[in-house]
Structure formats: structure tokens, C-alpha cells
Amino acid sequence: MIKSFLQMLARVDTFFFNFFNQSVKCHFLDIIMPLFTHLAGLVSVVGICLFLLLFLPSIPGTNVLGAVFFAQLAAQSIKFIIKRVRPHIKLPNVNIYTKLMQYDPSFPSAHTATITAVGGVIAILQPGYENIIAGICTMVGISRIYLGQHYPGDVLAGAVIGIGAAWLSCQIF
């Protein structure tokens, strides 16, 4: 029964992956989706931290850095326990738009975990921006699917990790 449930989840994941990666393809999204993905990259996250330190001093940098640390620790650890193969390796005819991650497992999405951790800290410590933050985090997650790097389940798991990391960081620091 568990095996059939997991197979059903894999089919649902593949269905929604194909929808975001192939059915909604257009030139405009080909341009903006890599930009959203890069919001969760190292350079962007460092830039976000510096911006917060300079312009929103009510959000301590230790909270943001702690959340990113916890999110990355959890995501990278889980990746190498689960070892899910990325969709562009497993599935045929995947639209790929960015440099491929060949050896890094797919589950969970560390990009989504990172941006959700940063956004979660901001939402907790600076109320009023939740809708904007949720929109940005959602777009980063969708970009990971659109660009052929992750399944929707990977993105959902990354978001859960990011929320947990933000909460934990705000409790500790």
C-alpha cells in the first residue's frame, strides 16, 4: 500500500513538473525565470543580507544567516540521504534553460529552502511584507520547476524546510 501511494505521488509530481516545464513555456518566462532562480543563489542571498543590515536594522543579520545555515544544513543532508535523480536526467524532453546540476540530488530544493528561510525571517521580524515575500518565494520555487531542475515535491519540501529554518533561527537568535 505504501509503495502504491509513493508511485501515485511520483506520477502526480511528474504531471505537475511537465505542466510547469513544458505546457506554460513562453519567451517571457524563459527570460524571467532564471532571474527568480538566481534570487536564491549565494551572491543574491549575501546581497539580501547586506541590504537588510543597511536598510532594515530591525532584522538582525544573525537571524537571516542562521536561517540560511539551518536551511542549507537540512536540505543538503536530506539530498544525500534521499538521492532523488533530477528530472532533466530521468525524464525525456525536459526543457532546460540554465547550467545543469548533474551530480547534486533533486530532493529537496535548496534554492527554495534558502529563499523561504530568508523570507520567513523577514516575515516574522518585520510584519506587513508577508504577501510580497510569499510571492517571491513561490516564484523562485516555480522557476526551479520551469527550468527543469526540480519536481514540485522537491520545491514543496524546500519551502517547508525554509519555514522551519526561519522559525528555528528566530527562536535561537
Task: Please tell me the predicted confidence (pLDDT) of residue 61.
Answer: 79
Task: Please tell me the predicted confidence (pLDDT) of residue 100.
Answer: 63
Query: Closest by alpha carbon to 118, among 48, 41, 51?
Result: 48
Task: Please tell me the predicted confidence (pLDDT) of residue 101.
Answer: 61
Q: Indicate the number of domains in the chain.
A: 1
What range does the domain containing 14 cover?
A: 2-172
pLDDT reading at 112 higher than 90:
yes
pTM score: 0.90
Mean pLDDT, residues 74-100 taken together: 87
Query: Closest by alpha carbon to 158, among 123, 106, 122, 86?
Result: 106
Complete DSSP assignment for 63-100:
HHHHHHHHHHHHHHHHHHHH-PPPHHHHSSS----S--
pLDDT digits (tens, 9 = 90+) for 144-166: 999 999 999 999 999 999 999 99
